[in-house]
């Protein structure tokens, strides 16, 4: 999209100047007049546009969830302050730094100024705004509570981000321990053990089986390290391709939720996403079936998504959500029982909220338990491995010293 430098007069006679993206000069003139500006000069900023194109070619700026969260919070705050949507988009645009998101907001603003609804304008950018986001905005526009809905969306996005960060933080320490221990073992295999191998060969004595196995393994690592690295890269690429397939993703997600210790965290995380999203959608007037169609794509686990998809099909035939989630054998009994209570009492949204709060606490407890257990287990495992390496090296030396003595 071309970029233009412009100068314009405001309604009170002051002069403003800025740089803005637009499809054409005519589009920019129309946009400025809608905002109460009268352009006196518009020049295409060719140099800036070329620099931007080169930068975008070199650096592909992905729109991160945090960027969308900031955008949502800003727009919601401005609309709740009774600022018109087009003007709110204009103000927010000035504060957004992500190049890609700036282009998206510019296009959304243009569509809104030319008669589109906010939801329809956002729907033109599915890589940035999810179905959940668009459906919520649509409900907010229909009910005349767009600012309130955007504020809730921002809170929801923040909660999801915080939860994800907590999971990553909990796994970071064990991962670092594992990586550092692996590096230490690699250095021993490549740099230390070969030096002792020469000494053992000079000794000419029969080595214990453990020492012979260690020397053989160290020789293999030293000679074929490039093959090992190549295999790691190939397997990583193959794994990434595999989980991109629907069947591969299903297998991987099924394994994840069945893992000891960490499996509980993955289960809780999926349930939180399901219950929080359902509660948010239903709270804003979206009925059960449309909510299920949206939520099945936001859970982040194919096993749970398939269970929700099957439940959706059966509900269309007259069944209930609690019954179908119970039949799936994926959701725990506490979830299906509380949803059943919500259905019977006519307050399913409140039960979804309570479930999300309950599993949020459970996830935090599981993460604390995981961190307290996995860290020492990794240290113990690596200590045993390094201890075996040290023993394999020291044992023949001690035996040789004893025979000389």
Given a cut of 80, is residue 311 above it in pLDDT? yes
Q: Which of 36, 58, 80 is the last residue of a domain?
A: 58
Q: What is the pTM of this model?
A: 0.69
Percent of the chain whose pLDDT exceeds 90: 25
Regarding whether 348 and 281 lie in a shared domain, the answer is yes
- Is residue 40 in some structural domain? yes
Name the burial class of residue 392, with classes exposed (0-12), middle (13-18) and buried (19+) by CB atoms within 10 angstroms of its CB: buried
Per-residue pLDDT of 26-73, as tens digits, reads: 777 787 777 778 787 777 665 554 455 444 544 456 888 889 999 999
Q: Residue 261 sits in a domain of what CATH number?
A: 1.20.81.30
Regarding whether 216 and 110 lie in a shared domain, the answer is no
Q: Which of 32, 58, 84 is the last residue of a domain?
A: 58
| 3: helix, strand or coil | strand
Contacts of 305 (CB under 8 A, 6+ apart): 296, 297, 299
> What are 42's strand-pairing partners?
6
- Is residue 147 in some structural domain? no
345 compared with 22, residue with greater pLDDT: 345
Strand order in the sheet with 3-9: 15-21, 3-9, 38-44
Instruction: With beta carbons less than 8 A apart as the criterion, state whether 38 and 62 touch.
Output: no
79 compared with 4, residue with greater pLDDT: 79
Regarding whether 109 and 187 lie in a shared domain, the answer is no
Q: What is the pLDDT of residue 61?
A: 65
Residue 18 — φ and ψ, nearest 5°?
Answer: -165, 180
State the CB neighbour count (10 A cutoff) for residue 314.
15
Cα–Cα distance between 274 and 354 in angstroms, integer?
12
Q: What is the pLDDT of residue 45?
A: 64
Per-residue pLDDT of 322-340, as tens digits, reads: 999 999 999 999 999 999 9
Given a cut of 50, is residue 286 above it in pLDDT? yes
State the CB neighbour count (10 A cutoff) for residue 241.
10
Q: What is the pLDDT of residue 255?
A: 94
Cα–Cα distance between 35 and 38 in angstroms, integer?
9
Given a cut of 80, is residue 205 above it in pLDDT? no
Regarding whether 256 and 121 lie in a shared domain, the answer is no
Regarding whether 77 and 36 lie in a shared domain, the answer is no
Give me the domain span that covers residue 17.
3-58
Cα–Cα distance between 186 and 232 in angstroms, integer?
15
- Is residue 150 in some structural domain? no
| 130: helix, strand or coil | coil
Regarding whether 374 and 228 lie in a shared domain, the answer is yes
Regarding whether 233 and 371 lie in a shared domain, the answer is yes
Regarding whether 291 and 256 lie in a shared domain, the answer is yes
403 compared with 212, residue with greater pLDDT: 212
Given a cut of 70, is residue 127 above it in pLDDT? yes
Residue 96: pLDDT band with limits 50, 70, 90: confident
Ramachandran category for residue 308: left, alpha or beta (phi over 0 → left; psi -120 to 50 → alpha): alpha
Q: What is the pLDDT of residue 201?
A: 76
- Is residue 383 in some structural domain? yes
- Is residue 145 in some structural domain? no
Regarding whether 187 and 70 lie in a shared domain, the answer is no
Regarding whether 332 and 235 lie in a shared domain, the answer is yes
Average pLDDT, the chain: 84
Q: How many domains does the chain have?
A: 3
- Is residue 337 in some structural domain? yes
Regarding whether 349 and 375 lie in a shared domain, the answer is yes
Residue 5 — φ and ψ, nearest 5°?
Answer: -95, 135
CA 117 vs CA 217, 281, 315: distances in Å: 66, 19, 31
Q: Which of 15, 43, 58 is the last residue of a domain?
A: 58
Residue 16: pLDDT band with limits 50, 70, 90: confident
Ramachandran category for residue 331: left, alpha or beta (phi over 0 → left; psi -120 to 50 → alpha): beta
Per-residue pLDDT of 351-395, as tens digits, reads: 999 998 899 888 888 888 887 888 788 888 888 888 888 888 888
DSSP 259: S
Q: Can you read off the two tokens belonging to residue 132?
A: 């959940």
- Is residue 142 in some structural domain? no
- Is residue 139 in some structural domain? no
Contacts of 102 (CB under 8 A, 6+ apart): 21, 93, 96
Regarding whether 218 and 78 lie in a shared domain, the answer is no
Written as one string, the DSSP assignment of 367-396 is HHHHHHHHHHHHHHHHHHHHHHHHHHHHHH
Cα–Cα distance between 385 and 178 in angstroms, integer?
12
Q: What is the pLDDT of residue 75?
A: 92
Cα–Cα distance between 62 and 182 in angstroms, integer?
32
Q: What is the pLDDT of residue 256?
A: 92
**Rounded (5°) CA angle 367-370-375:** 130
């Amino acid at each position: 999209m071309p970029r233009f430098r412009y100068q314009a007069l405001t309604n009170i006679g002051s002069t403003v100047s800025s740089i803005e993206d637009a499809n054409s000069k005519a589009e920019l003139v129309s946009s400025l007049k809608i905002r109460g500006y009268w352009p006196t000069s518009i020049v295409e900023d060719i140099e800036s546009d070329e620099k931007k194109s080169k930068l975008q070619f070199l650096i592909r700026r992905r729109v991160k969830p945090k960027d969308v969260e900031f955008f949502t919070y800003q727009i919601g705050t401005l609309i709740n302050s009774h600022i018109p949507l087009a003007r709110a988009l204009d103000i927010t645009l000035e504060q957004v730094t992500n190049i890609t998101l700036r282009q998206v907001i510019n296009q959304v603003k243009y569509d809104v100024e030319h008669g589109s609804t906010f939801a329809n304008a956002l729907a033109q950018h599915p890589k940035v705004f999810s179905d959940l986001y668009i459906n919520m905005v649509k409900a907010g526009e229909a009910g005349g509570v767009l600012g309130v809905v955007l504020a809730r969306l921002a809170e929801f996005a923040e909660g999801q981000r915080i939860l994800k960060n907590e999971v990553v933080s909990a796994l970071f320490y064990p991962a670092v321990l594992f990586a550092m221990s692996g590096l230490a073992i690699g250095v021993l295999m490549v740099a230390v053990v070969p030096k002792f191998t020469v000494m053992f060969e000079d000794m000419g004595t029969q080595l214990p089986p453990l020492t012979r196995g260690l020397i053989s393994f160290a020789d293999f690592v030293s000679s074929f390290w490039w093959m090992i690295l190549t295999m790691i890269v190939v397997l990583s690429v193959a794994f990434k391709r595999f989980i991109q397939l629907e069947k591969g993703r299903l297998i991987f997600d099924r394994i994840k939720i069945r893992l000891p210790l960490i499996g509980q965290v993955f289960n809780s995380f999926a349930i939180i996403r399901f219950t929080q999203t359902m509660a948010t959608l239903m709270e804003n007037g979206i009925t059960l079936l449309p909510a299920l169609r949206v939520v099945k794509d936001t859970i982040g686990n194919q096993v749970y998504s398939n269970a929700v998809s099957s439940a959706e099909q059966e509900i269309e035939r007259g069944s209930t959500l609690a019954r179908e989630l119970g039949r799936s054998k994926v959701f725990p009994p506490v979830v299906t029982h509380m949803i059943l209570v919500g259905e019977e009492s006519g307050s399913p949204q409140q039960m979804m909220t309570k479930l999300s709060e309950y599993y949020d606490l459970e996830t935090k407890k599981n993460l604390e338990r995981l961190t307290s257990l996995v860290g020492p287990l990794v240290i113990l495992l690596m200590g045993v491995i390094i201890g075996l390496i040290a023993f394999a090296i020291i044992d023949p030396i001690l035996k040789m010293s004893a025979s000389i003595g």
